[in-house]
């Protein structure tokens, strides 16, 4: 009976399979499709069902604990632990070795605000601006900021009559210069841009000597004047003929110096500067005045020499004696006149490059950045290319633009490079017409400056020193060429009247 049932079930399954393999009729397919009959051979489809695969569920906790406790795994764990700590200690030792062997950064020297950039001297405010007063100075502070000036030396602007001490009023501003409100605007505008204001308080600035014949009678009123102007916000004072008053009244001058410096002992106050001016030019005489007066900066006639050898010798001697924080470099000035008149138009950019790259504080007379020349007076009218009150030729405008662009570029480079701000000074070569020196600081880029005062001959310098490489790249050229060129320092050609600034990287 069971066999018959099994046969019947197989027949049913075959019939069902055969029916499923029959093609659909037109009625079954519906009206949307046309199905063509397909001839197929009937048969049985065999499907292989895979056997169920066994799955690995991992070791149980008890099994893991039994395995972990075996001697083999214990040794492996200890070995890995020891290797980890040995690797960590090795990396720590390597880091310490790198720190010890790496060259340490040299600590920055103590610097004051006047060591970070040039000072700009405006002796006659009437000639400097179109408004011919202190307000015109306030309106031009932005131009000074663009040149990276760190200080303005203004005046003298106080009331004084030539060689008449009884008419001296150190706390009053003369009518031709302006008034106190305008001076306050100058200080406000300058401080807003981080520029300090130094007041030239030379008493007898209109007379034959900077101080009256009886210097002691003058200094009696000086202390109260210093206190007055310090309260107004000035950042320092400048005096011509400082050696005279320091000799005539040494005790009083010491009181003046202490008074100015005591205003800056507090950390909240900006340090005040005491600047002296002397006509001395020899290194020994300059050192004597520095020692006698105790001024922070001393302007001299040292760089007005026509011999590059004398200039190089003076710089080397003063730098060796005082470093650079007390060195100030100038060529022109309120009494001496302007740079272009003293050295000639052909050497303006050469002198700009010299002043901006020597170790110390460069001081410029107003208009030195554009090659302003003295005519009938040492206080010529400042030429502004945008001025409506004067006629400036196209040739002069081009010349002014050329001088100004060079000055600005070099000053900007000085403001951001430590080697130029406070770097060490190394004299490489000097002769009657040529000098070359290097400025370097720690691991920063080094700068080499080569200057040729000879206006007719090219000079070839054979510069070889342990501190310099074989080649360096030109950064600035006073003749506006060769910038970007890599030059051989062993055969460095400097054209007539040319100044070059080259740079090379630090190598350990």
**Which backbone phi and psi does 424 adopt, to 5 degrees?**
-70, 155
pLDDT of amino acid 7? 46
- Angstrom distance (rounded) from CA 105 to CA 123: 42
- Angstrom distance (rounded) from CA 156 to CA 123: 7
Helices (H) and strands (E) in the chain, counts: 18, 18
Q: Which CATH superfamily is domain 427-504 in?
A: Golgi alpha-mannosidase II (2.60.40.1180)
3-state secondary structure of 424: strand
- Would the pTM count as exceeding 0.85? no
pLDDT of amino acid 56? 60
Domain locations along the chain? 61-101, 119-417, 427-504
Task: Assess contact for 497 and 347: CB atoms under 8 A.
Answer: yes
Given the structure tokens 């001959």, which residue do they identify?
457
pLDDT of amino acid 98? 78
Helix H or strand E encompassing 185: helix 180-192
Please give the chain's pLDDT, 508 residues, in tens. Answer: 444 444 454 454 445 545 544 555 444 444 444 444 444 445 555 555 555 555 666 667 777 777 777 887 788 888 888 999 999 999 998 888 877 776 677 788 888 999 999 999 999 999 998 888 999 999 999 999 999 999 999 999 999 999 888 899 999 999 999 999 999 999 999 999 999 999 999 999 999 888 887 666 666 678 889 999 999 999 999 999 999 888 888 888 898 888 888 865 444 567 899 999 999 999 999 999 999 999 999 999 999 988 999 999 999 999 998 877 888 999 999 999 999 999 999 999 999 999 999 999 999 999 999 999 998 889 999 988 655 545 678 898 999 999 999 999 999 999 999 999 999 999 999 999 999 999 999 989 999 999 999 999 999 999 999 999 999 999 999 998 999 999 999 999 999 999 999 999 998 7
Sequence-ordered list of residues with C-beta below 8 angstroms from that of 495, at least 6 positions apart, any chain:
452, 458, 479
3-state secondary structure of 157: coil
Task: Assess contact for 93 and 100: CB atoms under 8 A.
Answer: no
Sequence-ordered list of residues with C-beta below 8 angstroms from that of 203, at least 6 positions apart, any chain:
160, 165, 168, 170, 210, 211, 212, 218, 222
Helix H or strand E encompassing 73: helix 71-101
Closest CA to 414 of 356, 359, 361, 369: 356
Q: Where are the beta strands (DSSP E) in 414-461?
A: 424-430, 434-440, 446-452, 459-461
User: Distances in Å between the alpha carbon of 364 and those of 261, 324, 368?
Assistant: 24, 17, 6
Assigned fold of 119-417: TIM Barrel (3.20.20)
Sheet holding 499-504, edge to edge: 424-430, 434-440, 446-452, 499-504, 471-477, 486-488
Burial of 258 (0-12, 13-18, 19+ CB in 10 A): exposed
Buried b (16+ CB within 10 A) or exposed e, 182-214: bbebbbebbeeeebbbbbbbbbbbebeebbbee
């Amino acid at each position: 009976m069971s066999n018959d049932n099994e046969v019947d079930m197989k027949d049913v399954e075959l019939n069902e399979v055969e029916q499923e393999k029959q093609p659909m009729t037109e009625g079954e397919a519906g009206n949307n499709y046309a199905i063509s009959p397909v001839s197929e051979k009937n048969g049985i489809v065999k499907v292989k069902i895979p056997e169920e695969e066994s799955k690995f569920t991992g070791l149980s906790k008890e099994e893991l604990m039994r395995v972990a406790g075996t001697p083999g795994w214990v040794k492996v764990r200890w070995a890995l632990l020891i290797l980890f700590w040995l690797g960590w200690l090795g990396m720590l030792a390597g880091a310490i070795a790198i720190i010890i062997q790496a060259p340490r950064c040299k600590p920055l020297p103590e610097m004051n605000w006047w060591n970070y950039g040039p000072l700009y001297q405006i002796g006659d405010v009437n000639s400097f601006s179109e408004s011919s007063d202190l307000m015109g100075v306030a309106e031009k502070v932005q131009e000074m900021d663009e040149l990276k000036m760190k200080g303005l030396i203004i005046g003298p602007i106080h009331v004084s009559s030539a060689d008449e001490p009884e008419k001296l009023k150190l706390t009053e501003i003369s009518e031709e210069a302006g008034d106190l409100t305008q001076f306050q605007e100058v200080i406000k505008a300058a401080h807003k841009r981080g520029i300090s204001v130094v007041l030239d308080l030379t008493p007898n600035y209109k007379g034959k000597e900077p101080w009256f014949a009886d210097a002691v009678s003058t200094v009696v009123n000086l202390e109260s004047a210093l206190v007055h102007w310090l309260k107004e916000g000035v950042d320092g004072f400048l005096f011509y003929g400082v050696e005279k008053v320091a000799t005539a009244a040494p005790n009083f001058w010491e009181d003046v110096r202490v008074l100015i410096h005591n205003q800056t002992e507090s950390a909240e106050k900006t340090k005040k500067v005491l600047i002296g001016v002397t006509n001395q030019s020899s290194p020994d005489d300059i050192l004597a005045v520095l020692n006698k007066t105790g001024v922070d900066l001393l302007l001299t006639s040292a760089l007005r020499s026509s011999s590059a050898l004398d200039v190089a010798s003076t710089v080397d001697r003063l730098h060796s004696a005082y470093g650079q924080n007390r060195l100030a470099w100038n060529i022109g000035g309120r009494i001496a006149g302007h740079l272009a008149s003293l050295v000639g138009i052909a050497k303006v950019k050469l002198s700009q490059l010299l002043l901006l790259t020597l170790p110390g504080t460069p001081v410029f007379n107003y208009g030195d950045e554009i090659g302003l020349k003295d005519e009938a007076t040492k206080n010529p009218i400042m030429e502004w290319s945008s001025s409506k009150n004067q006629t400036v030729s196209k040739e002069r405008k081009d010349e002014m633009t050329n001088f100004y662009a060079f000055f600005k570029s070099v000053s900007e480079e000085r403001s951001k490079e430590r080697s130029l701000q406070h770097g060490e000074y190394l004299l490489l070569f000097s002769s009657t017409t040529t000098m070359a020196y290097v400025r370097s600081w720690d691991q920063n880029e080094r700068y080499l400056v080569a200057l040729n005062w000879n206006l007719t001959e090219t000079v070839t310098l054979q510069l070889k020193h342990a501190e310099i490489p074989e080649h360096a790249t030109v950064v600035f050229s006073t003749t506006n060429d060769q910038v970007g060129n890599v030059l051989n320092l062993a055969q460095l050609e400097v054209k007539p009247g040319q100044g070059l600034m080259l740079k090379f990287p630090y190598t350990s």
